[in-house]
Amino acid sequence: MSSKQHNPIPKIVVVGGGAGGLELVTRLGNSLGRRGEAEITLVDCSKTHVWKPLLHEVAAGTLDSHEDELEYLAQANTNHFRFILGRMQGLDGQAKTIRLAPILDSVGAVLVPVRDVRYDILVMAVGSVCNDYGIKGVAEHCMFLDTTEQAERFQERLMEEYVRAHVTKGKLEVVIIGGGATGIELAAQLHEVSHLLNTYGLDRVKPADVKLSIVEASPRLLPELPARLSDATLRELHKLGVDVLLKQRVVEVSPAGVKTDSGQVIPGRIKVWAAGIKAPDFMKTLGLETNRANQLVVRPTLQSSGDDGIFAIGDCAACPWPERNGQVPPRAQSAHQMADLVHDNILRQLKGRGLKEYRYRDYGSLVSLGKFSTVGNLMGGLGGSLMIEGFVARMVYLSLYKMHQLALFGVFRVGMLTLSHFFRRSVHPKIKLH
């Protein structure tokens, strides 16, 4: 009696459920997992997903993460992939396995032991974390906005400091280190919060009692973007009363405030570090080529430089940008484009076809200053750019999140989510008050 040889379906593992990783695993589930042509797995150390560009709103309390988060298990169930909760800590390229750290329960006991997960194709999409550059006091005295949990802790601390200032009739000083998009958008949201909390009863702390400072080492804000955009952003921040200190490199952070290389000390009970990023430190222990920021060095196909079966996308990928003689910037649009290419390249690799090369398309940049303004530039097809501000820029900015939702849910569900959000906002307070 003859028997047919059984060929196991390929195992595709995506580590990291951020913007790029979640979009990729959703597409792979619907293109390969649905038909049983591959086993698709997402690995992430969190149970839920919040779009990272919204974390400054979570931190300010103008967005409740529990209302806007996506549960990985639910997304996996409806999109034909499986989800494994765990934090990657190692890689065995010969055995084609990744190692997950143990999961601990609420009292620190081992709930789930160390596990190995096998793959045939691995995609690293673990994003980035803040880079403190080893500056004294940053790790001990600054807050960070890398994760939803960190943003929620910031919001709790903010409310505590507001209550303290309300009772003592004191002032609240917040120092944001870093004049990139995250720091700027957080400052604008905190300005809005200072007005909202007045209307909800914390009226002994006037908006003028809240001092917001941005400290930036470069000569201008948003140093990687066009000067016109930097200048427009600076003008808007000045209108909001935000104190912007340029050409001030932070050399030390203490409980009382921030010290710069000029000897200036900026007082602040709350300090936020938003200056520079790097890939998680474990990336440099995997035996793959990385750069100084722990990012995986990838070829134009987005495969790692040393292993055809490993791809990297998003902030953790050091991808060349030949047109600018540099590296693709760590933006949500970059991760989205990389996810599209790696989806196509995985399908081509499984069929034994040649892989496509990635070419980053810069569609411009937008910086939200809350309800007060949005500024940005849209890149034209011939390499020029169009400066936009105000309502039009705000609508384009909001559409970026809708594009992310469309990639995850489709048109009908996004329509229902938008309608639900509209009614929810009409009955809930405009800010999280606890």
Q: What is the pLDDT of residues 357-382, one digit of tens each?
A: 999 988 877 788 876 677 777 664 44
What is the rounded CA–CA span in Å between residue 59 and residue 56? 5
Take residue 119 and report the two structure tokens written for it: 């793959």
CB 294 within 8 A of CB 279: yes
CB 344 within 8 A of CB 27: no
pTM of the model: 0.89
Does 11-128+279-362 match 132-275 in CATH topology? yes
Burial class from Cβ neighbours inside 10 Å (0-12, 13-18, 19+) for residue 423 reads exposed
Q: What stretches of 257-321 show up as alpha helix (H) in DSSP?
A: none
What are the sequence ranges of the domains in the chain? Answer: 11-128+279-362, 132-275
More confident residue, 222 or 384: 222
Does position 232 have pLDDT exceeding 80, yes or no?
A: yes
Does position 352 have pLDDT exceeding 50, yes or no?
A: yes
Pairing of strands 277-278, 129-130: antiparallel
Q: How many CB atoms lie within 10 A of CB 291?
A: 14
The CATH code belonging to domain 132-275 is: 3.50.50.60
Pairing of strands 210-215, 277-278: unpaired
* CATH for 11-128+279-362 (3.65.10.10, 3.40.50.11540, 3.30.390.30, 3.50.50.60): 3.50.50.60
More confident residue, 220 or 366: 220
What is the rounded CA–CA span in Å between residue 424 and residue 379? 35
CB 98 within 8 A of CB 88: yes
DSSP string, 376-420: EEEE-TTS-EEEEEHHHHHHHHHHHHHHHHHHHH-HHHHHHHHHH
Please, which residues bridge with residue 257 across strands? 267
What is the rounded CA–CA span in Å between residue 157 and residue 208? 20
- With pLDDT > 90 as the criterion, what percentage of the chain qualifies? 64
Nearest partner of 166 among 178, 174, 158, judged by Cα: 158
